[in-house]
């Protein structure tokens, strides 16, 4: 089903398998900096393209891992958080949207409800994509990252393939995306969205060691449910953003 969305995006906008492969390579680049990541070996675009085909145009390296794993977050008031021993991270805004259930009902295979959830979250937080320092996107497949970067306003619709090219979302690139290595290389226990929050909090606290993004104060976290069905976006911030 996700391959169907990828095929449509390629048909409409000229997105290439090589551009999708850049997403997987970027995720692996971050995973190599994460000692907890399941996949830390070198990965090239050529290796992604030559990997076993699962459902055209997605090969096995375009698909998320299947692993054990888990995480937890504690939510409390900002007032109570100030008394804790750890540095708090603040919820600045959030939004959700659900447009369909099965992909056969999806209004447009190249546009997800992230376009709506993201705009709601930005409005509540009073920020825009240009203010985001780190973006954690549910990368069940490489096409997800491309779609969400577009729908969340980091680039225009149809430009996602070009946007991720040239190592732009890799370590040292213009936008830090999925700094843990994502579902593609770090960990994917089935309900990966919570781990996006965990990584965002770690980045905003400055706890990420070799993969730490300097001066990270605003993180976007985006979860995907169903088959590009339900979409939830949150903006998290350090105390300096209040």
Looking up residue 54, the CATH number of its domain turns out to be 3.40.47.10
* Predicted local confidence at residue 179, as pLDDT: 98
Low-confidence residues of the chain, pLDDT below 50? none
Residue 220's domain comprises 2-241
* Predicted local confidence at residue 62, as pLDDT: 98
Look at strands 53-55 and 90-98 and give their pairing: unpaired
Annotated active-site positions, please? Answer: 138, 186
Provide the number of structural domains found in the chain.
1
Query: Which residues contact residue 16 at a Cβ distance below 8 angstroms, ignoring those fewer than 6 apart?
Result: 10, 161
- Could you read off the pLDDT of 48-73 as tens digits, one per residue? 999 999 999 999 999 999 999 999 99
* Predicted local confidence at residue 26, as pLDDT: 98
DSSP states along 115-146: HHHHHHHHHHHT--GGG-SEEEE--SBHHHHH
Look at strands 176-177 and 90-98 and give their pairing: unpaired
* Predicted local confidence at residue 190, as pLDDT: 86
* Predicted local confidence at residue 191, as pLDDT: 85
pTM: 0.97
- 50 DSSP assignment: T
Query: Which residues contact residue 85 at a Cβ distance below 8 angstroms, ignoring those fewer than 6 apart?
Result: none
- Could you read off the pLDDT of 22-47 as tens digits, one per residue? 999 999 999 999 999 999 999 999 99
* Predicted local confidence at residue 184, as pLDDT: 98
- How far, in Å, are 8, 64, 143, 242 from residue 25 at the CA level? 22, 13, 13, 35
Residue 211 to residue 19: CA distance in whole angstroms? 23
* Predicted local confidence at residue 76, as pLDDT: 96
């Amino acid at each position: 089903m996700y391959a169907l969305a990828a095929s449509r995006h390629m048909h409409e906008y000229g997105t290439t398998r090589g551009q999708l492969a850049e997403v997987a390579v970027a995720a692996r680049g971050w995973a190599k900096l994460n000692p907890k990541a399941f996949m830390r070996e070198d990965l090239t675009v050529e290796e992604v393209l030559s990997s076993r085909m699962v459902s055209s145009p997605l090969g096995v390296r375009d698909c998320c891992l299947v692993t054990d794993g888990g995480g937890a977050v504690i939510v409390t008031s900002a007032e109570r958080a100030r008394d804790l021993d750890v540095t708090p991270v603040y919820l600045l805004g959030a939004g959700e949207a659900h447009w369909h259930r099965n992909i056969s009902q999806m209004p447009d295979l190249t546009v997800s409800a992230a376009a709506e959830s993201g705009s709601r979250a930005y409005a509540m937080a009073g920020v825009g994509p240009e203010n985001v320092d780190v973006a954690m996107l549910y990368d069940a497949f490489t096409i997800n990252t491309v779609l969400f970067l577009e729908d969340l306003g980091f680039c225009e619709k149809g430009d996602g393939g070009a946007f991720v090219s040239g190592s732009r979302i890799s370590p040292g690139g213009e936008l830090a995306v999925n700094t843990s290595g994502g579902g593609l290389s770090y960990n994917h226990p089935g309900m990966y969205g919570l781990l996006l929050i965990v990584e965002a909090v770690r980045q905003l606290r400055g706890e990420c060691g070799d993969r730490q993004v300097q001066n990270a104060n605003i993180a976007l976290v985006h979860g995907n449910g169903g088959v590009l069905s339900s979409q939830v976006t949150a903006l998290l911030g350090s105390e300096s953003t209040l």
